[in-house]
Amino acid sequence: MINIIGTFKRLSLYIGISTLVICSAEAGILTDKSPDHRIGIGREAVVIPDATNGAPWTKSTGIIYELNQLEQIGTKIVLQPYLSGRAAVFYQLDPTLYDSNRGRYQYRTKFNVSVPLRISPSTILSSDSGTDWAKNGPEIQEFYFEVYSGFRLAGSPRNISGLRLGGQISFVQAEYEIDDEVGYDFGMAMRDQLNHQGTGGKYQIDGAYQFKNSRLSLELTRVRFRDEEWGGKFTRDQIKLSYFAKISNKTDCGINAIRTENDYNNNILGFDDIVVQVNASCRWAF
């Protein structure tokens, strides 16, 4: 397993370097910030399409907490990063469809610190660092953890109102573990051969379109590293399509469709490690 203490020490160093860089910046920046807290409820369905013919959907329900910093346009530099975070606990209604000893509770957290380095009227360059952690994740994911640090560029085309495009490249240290029973029963691996970890890169492109009280977004992410357990390369590709609508000043509801594919360059499972998630949620600001 990854040395988590050492990983967080490196993350702290990355954030410190980013702060030193912004201290020397000479550009106007987004200044006034206020926290936005939201709590929500969600419903999710998950399927492993390549596991077996007619693989069943599993279902879960849970609660979500989100924190974001809202921003207003300003004209001077303020050494305060933008924060965003998400924590969720889901209760799986039928956990044993793929694993006879699978726990019912799933835990997921994400946290990101974004330090703006430069801004123009339509473009922001920032240094982004964060973590992504999941325990007892969707069906065949026993454990996932990553810590990353890199740079993000985002901007809005002048001739298309409401459109926002972005891209990010980061150094990443990650670990992924397949559920032992699924890997052992369906695949060709022993139970101690289901863990993958290493260091590499994280690459993301995304876009969002805001129209009236609705927001449509698409996010493509790749994590790729040298597999310290198996050798070769581990690749994790994810596509996320989201739609959210503002119901009132304090309420919004939406739906996400997520496809995640993990490739370890070997035949551990005997089928492609592809998971499809569809979840709907409503969130209330407080």
The larger pLDDT score, comparing residue 203 to residue 5, is at 203
Distance (Å) of CA 139 to CA 39, 60, 176, 177, 227: 25, 11, 13, 12, 22
Residue of 169, 229, 162 whose CA lies nearest to 198: 229
Query: Would you state the pLDDT for residue 31?
Result: 45
Cβ neighbour number for residue 37 with a 10 Å cutoff: 12
> pTM for the whole thing?
0.81
What is the set of domains in the chain, with CATH numbers? Answer: 4-285 (2.40.160.40)
Q: What is the mean pLDDT of residues 60-85?
A: 74
Q: Among residues of the chain, what percentage have pLDDT more than 90? A: 48
**Bridge partners of residue 87, in order along the sequence:** 65, 109
Query: Would you state the pLDDT for residue 117?
Result: 77
Query: Would you state the pLDDT for residue 186?
Result: 59
Residue of 259, 98, 104 whose CA lies nearest to 179: 98
Could you report the per-residue pLDDT of 26-71, keeping only the tens digit for each?
A: 333 444 556 789 999 999 999 988 876 667 889 999 999 999 886 5
- To the nearest whole number, what is the mean pLDDT of the chain? 81
Q: Which of 156-165, 176-185, 247-256 is the most confident on average?
A: 247-256
Q: What is the mean pLDDT of residues 94-117?
A: 86
Query: Would you state the pLDDT for residue 183?
Result: 59
Q: Which residues contact 112 (CB under 8 A, 6 or more apart)?
A: 83, 84, 85, 128, 129, 130
Query: Checking phi first, is residue 231 left (phi over 0); if not, alpha (psi -120 to 50) or beta?
Result: left
